[in-house]
Amino acid sequence: MGGRIEHISESLTGCGPSVLDALGVAGWTAGRKIAAGDWAQQLTAAGFELNDTAVGVWAEFGELTIKSCPARVPASSLHIDPVDACVDTTAEASKLRHRYAENYSPLGMWSVQFRSYIAASGRVVAVGPNSLWLLGSTFAEALAYVVDGDAGVNRAEQADWLANCPTGR
């Protein structure tokens, strides 16, 4: 396990022990910061308008893969690497922005196959073919969902408005 966490990041307010354990296993420690400037530069060059919430999450949790606890069925994960997951999805992010009237920046991949985005408000969504999942209204809620699930509540919504987004994948 990740050991005792002395100072919890503001972005983790409200996270339970299972989430903190999963973060420790993934390699997160209190005060962790990585250089996210290359990601910001690549994504800006690709046409994204980045939000400060995303940049802060990348700096603290970037390059980590947070996995679900063994009791969660189905298993889940969140890999924080916005360039690898989303560098070619500006049209998709633009559709999210128009639909929800706020800036969505790339976050990474949810459960290996779905691109994820984080809004300026902290809302985290994942996108698949004509589908959208609300992972959480905050990053902490999204982590709780990834790690612990929510007793089988279906978070998928039909999102035909996402159809025909060029992604290059």
Q: What is the pLDDT of residues 53-67, one digit of tens each?
A: 999 999 999 999 999
Residue 108 lies in a domain: yes
Residue 135 lies in a domain: yes
Provide the pLDDT confidence category of residue 106 given band limits of 50, 70 and 90: very high
Residue 4 pLDDT exceeds 50? no
What is residue 13's predicted lDDT score, i.e. its pLDDT?
67
Residue 145 lies in a domain: yes
Average pLDDT over residues 95-108: 96
Amino acid at 145: Y
Provide the pLDDT confidence category of residue 147 given band limits of 50, 70 and 90: very high
Residue 94 lies in a domain: yes
Residue 41 lies in a domain: yes
Residue 82 lies in a domain: yes
What is residue 164's predicted lDDT score, i.e. its pLDDT?
63
d(CA 149, CA 97): 26
CA–CA distance from 150 to each of 21, 82, 122 (Å)? 18, 25, 19
Question: Which structural domain range is residue 135 located in?
Answer: 15-162
d(CA 107, CA 135): 12
Mean pLDDT of the chain: 88
d(CA 64, CA 56): 14
pTM: 0.89
Using DSSP, state whether 127 is helix, strand or coil.
strand
Residue 168 lies in a domain: no
Residue 45 lies in a domain: yes
d(CA 51, CA 103): 7
The structural domain count of the chain equals 1
CA–CA distance from 70 to each of 1, 28, 91, 101 (Å)? 14, 19, 36, 37
